[in-house]
Amino acid sequence: MPLDFRVLLYTGSIALLTALLFGLLPAWQSSRGDLAAVLKGANIAGGRLRLRLATLTGQIALSLVLLLTAGLFARVIIRFHNLDPGFASRNRLYAPAFVPAPQFTPASGRVFYGQTLDRLRALPGVRSAALTTRLPLYAAGIAGTCVALAAERPAPATAMTVGAGFLETLRIPLLEGRDFDAADKADGPPVSIVNRTMARRLWPNGSVIGRTFQLGCDHPRTLQVVGVARDAKIRSMNEVPQPHVYLPFSQAYEGGIVFLVVETAGDPASLMERVRQTLVSANPDFRTYGVQRLSDSLDASFWQTRFELWILGILGALALALAAVGMYGVLAYHVTARTREIGIRVAMGARPSDVVRLVIGQGVRVTLAGIAIGLALSTLLSRLLANLLEGVSPADALTWSAAACVWIAVALLACWLPARRAARVEPVIALRQE
């Protein structure tokens, strides 16, 4: 993309105007000062110091808001890692695959995939292999559908087509009934497995095995329930369980992408190349799009939250660094402005530790004021954050305490050098300024 000089001119103009705007007030204040008083060290710590302290307080407040928000998003990611997705991802590989038409029809595709699974299961180190047309929590997502009993209003649901053994491979236990098997032929009675949420919603009382329901929003078809599976995360780690239907691959496959899932006995990385070679050599027309860890797909399912954390973390760190440098500069200016006062205090018996406490106390007061304002702003923003944090309270006490402690620690470090410089002031040299 070529460089747009209009954008370059706009950004340059904004930068120039910003420099001029923020340089006008200091220049105006400097032009009104008493030169003799300034040279003697007097009249320095008046309005300019108060303005700088107020500006520093605002910087601390805004940086605390950014740090606090980044901390809350970090808590979301930690929560996602600790959540049970309802299926096993460790020691699992998956490979998106495709057989094109007209080389393959749905019938020949089912036969081919059955042969491919047999070859994968025969590999050393492979415990089981299965397939599905939709992978749980995969970035491509799972399309929605409708389920209903006869003469009832349809309810939203999700559905995926799976092969026999898929639930066992992903350790999704059957709570009732059976898995799909060879008896579920393409021309046989349409069957399905439903999750526990759907079973409780449509049939709250009694066994659901053998019950029938309608699947589909526009052109529903009747399916019989042969099994009930435990709920698993389908679209996102934070979703509330919704009705979900598993359809048999032997009856519902009509072409398109298929995900082959392999369970390994050990480290799945050692089998990735062997699985890939097995798939590539299966048929010249067969296409596969790489072999990956299922755990990586699980981590990628909350990439957006991780991206937001990175952005907020970088902005928070920059704001923290700028505010810390600003604090150092203001306190160094503060020490210079009060050099004569400090010299008098030392001459009257003040110890170096007293001078250090004086300077650090100034920095801590400004920091605590900024933290208080930042926490107040965060409280006002908590309603907006509640919609983004997915299960983590915006008023999480641990995160708020950690953000405040980080700022206090940084403030103490920023105060240390000016405080040490103030403690070394020689009273004789300071008093000679008058």
More confident residue, 301 or 274: 274
Strand extents, DSSP E, 149-202: 155-162, 174-177, 191-195
Mean pLDDT score, 98-120: 89
Q: Residue 160: is its pLDDT beyond 50?
A: yes
- Band (43; pLDDT cuts 50, 70, 90): very low
Comparing CA positions, the residue from 67, 76, 73, 80 lying closest to residue 401 is 67
Which of 11-15, 283-287, 335-339 ranks highest by mean pLDDT?
283-287
Higher confidence at residue 95 or residue 74?
A: 95
Per residue in 365-417, pLDDT (tens digit) is 888 888 888 888 888 877 777 666 666 777 778 888 888 888 888 888 888 87
Give the pLDDT confidence score for residue 120 in this predicted structure.
94
Give the per-residue pLDDT at 141.
Answer: 67
* 355 pLDDT higher than 50: yes
This prediction has a pTM of 0.69
pLDDT tens figures, 50-78: 777 788 888 888 888 888 888 887 887 77
Task: Identify the band that residue 225 occupies on the pLDDT scale cut at 50, 70 and 90.
Answer: very high
pLDDT at 126 over 80: yes
Domain ranges of the chain: 35-82+303-431, 92-294
Measured between alpha carbons, how far is residue 175 from residues 178, 194, 232 in Å? 9, 10, 13
Give Cα separations from 142 to 228, 246, 293 (angstroms). 20, 12, 19
**Confidence band of 286 (pLDDT split at 50, 70, 90):** confident
Distance (Å, rounded) from C-alpha 144 to C-alpha 364?
55
* pLDDT tens track for 180-202: 998 899 888 999 999 999 999 99
Distance between CA atoms of residues 286 and 113, nearest Å: 10
pLDDT of residue 72: 80
Tokens read off for 10: 């706009």
Contacts of 429 (CB under 8 A, 6+ apart): 343
Phi, psi of 322 (to 5 degrees): -65, -45
Q: Look at residue 431 and tell me whether its pLDDT is greater than 60.
A: no
pLDDT bracket for residue 157 (50, 70, 90): very high
Query: Where does the pLDDT of residue 432 fall: very low under 50, low under 70, confident under 90, or very high at 90 and above?
Result: low
Q: Give residue 23's pLDDT.
A: 63
Reference 338, options 434, 426, 411, 422; nearest CA is 422
Q: What is the mean pLDDT of the chain?
A: 81
Specify which of 73-87, 245-259, 287-301 reaches the highest per-range mean pLDDT: 245-259
Query: Does 263 or 325 have the greater pLDDT score?
Result: 263
Mean pLDDT of 6-11: 72
